Amino acid sequence: MNIISKFKCDIKGLDDFAKQLAIKNNLGDIYLLRGDLGVGKTTFSRSLINHMHDINKLERPINIKSPSFPIMINYPLVDYEINHYDLYRLADASDLIEINFYENLEKNISIIEWPEIILKDFKLYNYFLIDFNIIDQNNRFVKLQHTKKFFL
């Protein structure tokens, strides 16, 4: 993994970071989000999804929440979708076959919270790995990595 960036930020900084990634987004991009409960994974996802809608000149979704119970929520854009996954409740990666997880990766943008269950099987994919850590109530430490060299 190549470390691209490490920084401390508040909510505004997290939104700015999501906007930078949204601007450079490419079809097939995969974002794996790691961190404790309440660290900001869904907040980051919400910002990224909203900025992607802005870039595509589409109305922002009314409600972007964690897909904890449905496992996946999709947000249609012009020619593709953003698939937002939460794998926290899955016991086995084979459960992903039922929701066409692997088939959807190349044709869409994927945001995956709690990716630990799939990391060992993800060696054939290029992806961003974003680790979130709590510094205090208002600040987080974020580390962005990619399987290849990537520049923000």
For every one of its 152 residues, what pLDDT tens digit does the chain have, with 9 covering 90 and above?
899 999 999 999 999 999 999 999 999 999 999 999 999 999 999 999 999 999 999 999 999 988 888 899 999 999 999 999 999 988 888 888 888 888 889 899 999 999 999 988 787 788 999 999 999 999 999 999 999 766 65
Beta bridge partners of 144: 5, 130
Q: Which amino acid is at 79?
A: D
The helix/strand/coil state of 126 is coil
Q: In terms of residues, how long is the chain?
A: 152
